[in-house]
Amino acid sequence: MNFTKNIGMLLLAIYLILVGIVALIPSIAIPGIIMGILALAAGIFILIGR
């Protein structure tokens, strides 16, 4: 398995996986603040190129 060294893309992948899990299994509740922070961090790291 080859993981990406770009932390922005890694955070984006984690965010998308969590959103998919929450959509498929509604009984799993992940606070919106955590999802927002994760999305914001992924966007910032992608923009700065890390």
Q: How many domains does the chain have?
A: 1
Residue 44 or 3, more confident: 44
Query: What share of the chain has pLDDT > 70, as a percent?
Result: 90
Average pLDDT over residues 23-46: 85
pTM: 0.75
Q: What does the alpha-carbon distance between residue 14 and residue 38 come to, in Å, rounded to a whole number?
A: 8
Mean residue pLDDT of the chain comes to 83
Q: Which domain holds residue 27?
A: 7-48
Tokens for 16?
A: 């998308």
Q: Is residue 41 part of a domain?
A: yes
Exposed, middle or buried: residue 11 (CB in 10 Å: 0-12, 13-18, 19+)?
A: buried
Q: Is residue 1 part of a domain?
A: no
- pLDDT interval class at 35 (50, 70, 90): confident
Q: Is residue 26 part of a domain?
A: yes
Q: Is residue 2 part of a domain?
A: no
- pLDDT interval class at 34 (50, 70, 90): confident
